[in-house]
Structure 1
Amino acid sequence: MTSNEMTGGEAVARMLQAYEVGPMFGMGGFQLLPFYDAARRLGLNHNLINDERCAVFIADAYAKVSGRVGVCDATLGPGATNLVTGLVEALNAGSPLVVFVGDTHRAHSWKNMTQETRQAEILRPACKELIRIEMIERIPELVRRAFAVATAGRPGPVVVDIPEDVCHATHPFEVTEFEADPALAAAPALRCRPAAEDLARAAEMLAAAERPLMLCGGGVHLSGATAAVEALAAAINLPVAHTMTGKGAIACSSPLSAGLFGRYDRIANKLIEESDCLLVVGCKLGEIATKRYSVPAAGKTVIHLDSVAEEFGRTFQPALRLWGDAREGLADLAAALAGRAGAIRARRQGYVDDVAGRMAAWRRSVEPRLTSGERPINMARLLHELNRIMPEDGILVADGGFAAHWGGLLYDTKKAGRGFVPDRGFASIGYGLPGAMGCALAAPGRPVVGLTGDGGFNMVMGELETARRLKLPFTLIVVNNAASGYVKALQHLIYGAGSYQSSDLVEVNYARVAESLGCRGIRVEDPEQLAAALAEGLKGGEGPTLLDVVVTRDPAQMLPGVDNRTVQVKKGDRVA
């Protein structure tokens, strides 16, 4: 066998090369310099970021869209602690990441080294597993472990902590040590199926139901199960509602689509109330999806299919638990029902016609808002114009806060698949720009639009420089309401008009900000300008286009509906 003396940093780089990882982002420090030098020599696609949180956000969005492991890195101390928000997003959302973090020289630890902190203890709750490498010769083994954990079960981020002396040390590695299973570079790397007797019982429950409904969460996309959702739904006329992360489980234009359910909904909450059997797939039934744990109502018959057994019964006790992968479980259900699917489908035709009729009626009811000519621009009009122009393969990235809620309620995916990417794992604002960058890298050639508030953009605007440097062709819409819109709207709902505290921003022309960073900027103040501005952005080119869209300053109109946490409004009051 042939051995090769190399640094620990180069050993890490060679393992990443073996996994054929995609673009990586980080901000280096002394601890990881051998890794950076090896990345340069080996030709890895590594890029400087301006804020480590954004490095994780980019890797997270890249993983969400590509299904492949996202990779980023940070130096010790403030670099490591800046990762926390992005790591929790990936942990809660189930995004497979491997994140490398430099740490102190072990011979000098706890001697007041510059930037030293208890970073392993800080990061451990924010990731699926934290692996500290104490011996240089174990680097290949432990990097393989990181990829295996990141892609198994519900995927998630794994942090690899590398002390300075391990990264800078040298060791004669054997060439054969740098071998990797390519299956572990994407998630899910392993799949399991529900028990046969549980599947048979679930099939009987679905067959007997008169008004069943499938509720899809983000796990449908993690599993790559959208084709299985479409197949089962079409086979037995099973309508489908979705969470924000589950949007795209089927096309929003499908006659079987019941749209968003939970805090904000179109018709789905009423259908859930009327349903006699709910099939929950890849959904944790969290606060927003359940309208603060009130949907479904207690006593509803629920079949819960999920790959994480710990989610069963956390917020709702199901009648039947199906422990397994969403794609495989749905395929097995379809097979179990195949012999009588035709009869079931015919029996339910009136039901699905009713669902389609309700959706059509809802669309008619909100038409005035969707086509509103008011100035400043109504958010519904912005989403309407985006729906009209976005191609079938387009991707909308929605920042936390009201951007995700407006997008979740009104944006229509035109085909099944991950065409809507909100950061609902942690709902941090600031995701819109780096998320759009990650999507553009994951799906070159697909039109990408990021939707962010002015508050979220203020946090991360320095990454426009990164996007320009990488010549990433996407459109970023900055929803400019000169406020922390979600907070101001809630203050208005709870405390009344004029009761605003620390929720206003100064007026900024963000188109000029973009231009000052060498990007194309377009300010939109008239709703009649929206279509042309969006078309200009979607032309692509070298680098991003920023649309500064001036939207309503009225806090009563900042949310897509009445937040269920407020008690000042009558039950069921909702605007589009």
Structure 2
Amino acid sequence: MNASSTPAQAPAERQTLNMSAGEAIARIIKAFNGGPMFGMGGFQVLPFYDATRRLEMPHHLIHDERNAVFVADAYAKVSGRVGLADATVGPGATNLATGLAEALNAGTPMVCVIGNTHRDHSWKNMTQEIRQVDALRPLCKELIRIESIRRVPELMRRAFAVATTGRPGPVVVDVPEDLMHDTYDFPLSDFEVNPAYEMAPALRSRPDAESVLRAAGLLARARRPIILAGGGVHLSRAAETLSAFARSTNVPVAHTLTGKGAIPCIDPLSAGLFGRYDRIANKLIDESDVILVVGCKLGEIATKRYTVPAPGKTVIHLDIVAEEFGRTLEPDVMLWGDAKLGLDDLLAALGERAESMRQRHAGYAAEIPQRMEKWREEVADKLYSNDKPISVARILTEINKVLPGDGYLVADGGFAAHWAGLLFDTKEAGRRFVPDRGFASIGYGLPGAIGVALAAPGRPVLSLTGDSGFCMVLGDLETAKRLNLDFTVIVINNAASGYVKALQHLVYGAGSYTSSDLNEVNFAKVAQSMGCTGIRVENPDEIESVLRQALSTRGPVVLDMVVTRDPAKMLPGVDSRAAVIKKGDRIA
């Protein structure tokens, strides 16, 4: 056939490519520049797995699907990109539940693909069959069930859009076995995506101008204003903006566990953690007259079981989710919109009054580092304790000394997050502290470290976890070793489910412990048996040198820190729930 008789190339919208639904799913993920994906395969998702191989997409086997979601969660929290996980039908899908709850409550952008039964045989007692769609629907921002193969690209695009807009969250895409294996001539144009949905927040909205002006007027007249920063600051990537706002007006900033880094902890305006555990922040809140809440849900721990702030305060609440307004306290001004844009608009509305505030609050601002220094002096015996077994406070002191400003500290959901939330000091604005406080499940420390190491290659990564939480997930040390990831897991080895034992001690008294003790385990030897570096630490004077050694060691490192066995010393302070019980009040 000569050139003149060659048929013209079909327009792009009419060009097609025959492929399985599994490949179509993989191609959409690749079009969004999807990062590493973790899962455990099965027959229902084989075409998807085969496609990731042929398309050279980063996909990795993990030993527990819950851990796959935890990895995706930490990866997304640090990178801002969509976290990715998958599972096969039944137990694979239901194993995602705890991780999905974390991502939903924390506002983590995520897409999880799950296989389901063959539609011709559903509800005939197929192997591993369960009503997984019904089980998972409350645990995700949206659950998309694909029923038509030609709609695969469309609905996968929707999954990324939903995951990254508004308050981000996890989207589950449920794909029947027959559809996953079936093929279709897909138009190539179906695989064109909007790059805005690669990261969160994909879209930003501003609070209404009238409310901004009212809020600016209240702040300009305030005598002792304070900012309460939550994890929404990081979801908006607004830490630099909030830090600049605080410095422009000399307004101190206190933070929640997930809001740490909204302003650097070493900044003179940082008042530290507020709520159940605090340094100086709760008293500052009590003394304040105007409170600006930014990206914070004001939940139980942040409010010390709904007692902080005290009634009667003037509150301005800036949040992307309107449903959070008035949930735990009624704000005087509601700023419904993106944290970054809302802060920009507030500063613009203040105009020259911002400089007046900065000058007027100079003395007030100077109190913050003075109070913080006084607090450090009062707790110095704990921060620099030479106790053996080791004090957890001493471990955090050495971490603060060793971890550089661009490093990350992951914290497991229980007491590890509370100790680190109170005592760890970020040196830069931004999310350098990565706890799983959306659902506060233990077992996050190791998979969280994997996710952060993948999101921030070359950066120092430490992870703090308890021995109970580490036992839940230690099989995925093999995964970390297989991937040659560099990070250090610090196991707080107190031979107990420490948080539970400490609460039993507080509520029922010494000796009243039930199902909270563990066998002594040498986790350094466990790590070594799995091909990783393991070091047992029993002397507090060794902590700094061992941390430095770990950070310079290639591959996963486990530091087995033998800490206090005294339940009276396992928490950074008396739990507020125990105080309520001792007053005789009933807790639902």
CA distance in 1, matches of 2:319, 2:420: 25
Aligned-partner residue type, residue 555 of structure 1 = P
Of 558, 566, 578, which residue of structure 2 is paired with 1:546? 558
Equivalent in the alignment of 1:22: 35
Alignment partners' CA distance in 2, 1:389 and 1:170: 54
* Structure 1 residue 340, shift from structure 2 partner: 2.2
Give the corresponding residue for 2:498.
Answer: 485
| 3-state SS of 2:271 partner | strand
| C-alpha separation in 2, matches of 1:338 and 1:464 | 53
**In structure 1, distance between residues paired with 2:34 and 2:58:** 9
How far off is 1:396 after superposition? Answer: 0.3
Distance (whole Å) between structure 2 residues aligned to residue 210 and residue 412 of structure 1: 28
Q: Is 1:146 the equivalent of 2:169? A: no
Counterpart pick for 1:319 among 332, 344, 367: 332
**Is the aligned partner of 1:565 residue 2:577?**
yes
**1:218 counterpart = 2:231:** yes
Q: Which runs of 4+ in 1 moved over 2 A?
A: 567-571
Percent identity, aligned pairs only, is 68
What letter corresponds to residue 550 of structure 1 in structure 2?
V
Separation in 1, partners of 2:578, 2:60: 44
Distance (Å, rounded) in 2 between the aligned partners of 1:209 and 1:133: 54
- Deviation (angstroms), 1:13: 0.7
Normalised to the residue count of structure 2, the TM-score between the two structures is: 0.96
AA at the equivalent of 1:564: S
Q: What secondary structure does 1:43 align onto? A: coil
Whether the 8 Å contact between 1:562 and 1:569 is mirrored in structure 2 is: no
What secondary structure sits across from 1:418 in the alignment? coil
**Aligned equivalents of 2:16 and 2:439: distance in 1?**
45
Q: Contact 2:68–2:85 (CA<8 Å) still a contact in 1? A: yes
Structure 1 counterpart of 2:106, from 90, 93, 103: 93
- How do 1:252-263 and structure 2 match up within 5 A? 252-263=265-276
Alignment match, 1:199: 212
CA deviations over 1:364-414 (Å, ceiling 9, x no partner): 111111111110000100000000000010100000110000000000001
* 1:501-520 matches, cutoff 5 A: 501-520=514-533
State the alpha-carbon separation in 1 of the partners of residues 165 and 553 from structure 2: 36
Measured in 1, the distance between the counterparts of 2:518 and 2:117 equals 40
Match of residue 533, structure 1, among 539, 546, 554: 546
CA offsets 1:218-270 (integer angstroms, 9 cap, x no match): 00000000111011101110100000000000010111000000000000000
TM-score by length of structure 1 reads 0.98
2:297 to 276, 284, 295: 284
Structure 1 pair 157–568 and aligned structure 2 pair: CA distance change class (3 A): closer
Which structure 2 residues correspond to residues 97-176 of structure 1 after superposition, within 5 A? 97-176=110-189
Residue by residue over 1:89-117, the C-alpha shift from the partner in whole angstroms, topping out at 9 and shown as x without a partner, is 00000000000000000000000000000
Question: Is residue 396 of structure 1 aligned with residue 409 of structure 2?
Answer: yes
- Conserved? CA contact 1:493–1:568, under 8 Å: no
Contact 1:494 1:568 in 2 (8 A): no
Shift of 1:540: 3.8
Q: CA RMSD in A?
A: 1.0
User: What is aligned with 1:574?
Assistant: none
> Deviations for 1:175-200, whole angstroms, at most 9, x for unmatched residues?
11111111101001011000111001
Map of 2:285 onto structure 1: 272
Matching residue within 251, 255, 258 for 1:245: 258
Does the CA-based 8 Å contact 1:31-1:76 persist in structure 2? yes
Cα deviation code 1:457-488 (max 9, x no counterpart): 00000010000000000000000000000000
SS in 1 for 2:335: strand
SS in 2 for 1:565: helix
Q: How many residues align?
A: 570
Between the aligned partners of 2:535 and 2:553, the Cα distance in structure 1 is 14
Question: Which residue of 425, 441, 461 maps to 2:474?
Answer: 461
1:413 match: 426
Shift of 1:501: 0.2
Unaligned runs of 5+ in 1: 572-576
Shift of 1:568: 8.0
| CA drift at 1:300 | 1.0
Aligned to 1:179: 192
Q: How far is 1:338 from its partner?
A: 2.6
Residue 377 of structure 2: which of 351, 355, 364 is its match? 364
Give yes or no for contact 1:231–1:334 (8 Å, CA) kept in 2.
no
Deviation, structure 1 residue 570? 9.3
- Match of residue 322, structure 2, among 292, 309, 325: 309
Q: 2:357 aligns with which of 317, 340, 344?
A: 344
From 23, 32, 44, the equivalent of 2:57 is 44
Query: Which letter does structure 1 place at the counterpart of 2:564?
Result: T
Q: SS in structure 2 opposite 1:292?
A: coil
- Structure 2 vs 1, CA of residues 75 and 481 (structure 1 numbering), >3 Å: closer, same or farther? same
What letter corresponds to residue 522 of structure 2 in structure 1?
A: N
Which amino acid in 2 is paired with 1:56?
V
Secondary structure of 2:528's partner? helix
Query: What secondary structure is seen at the aligned counterpart in 2 of 1:266?
Result: coil
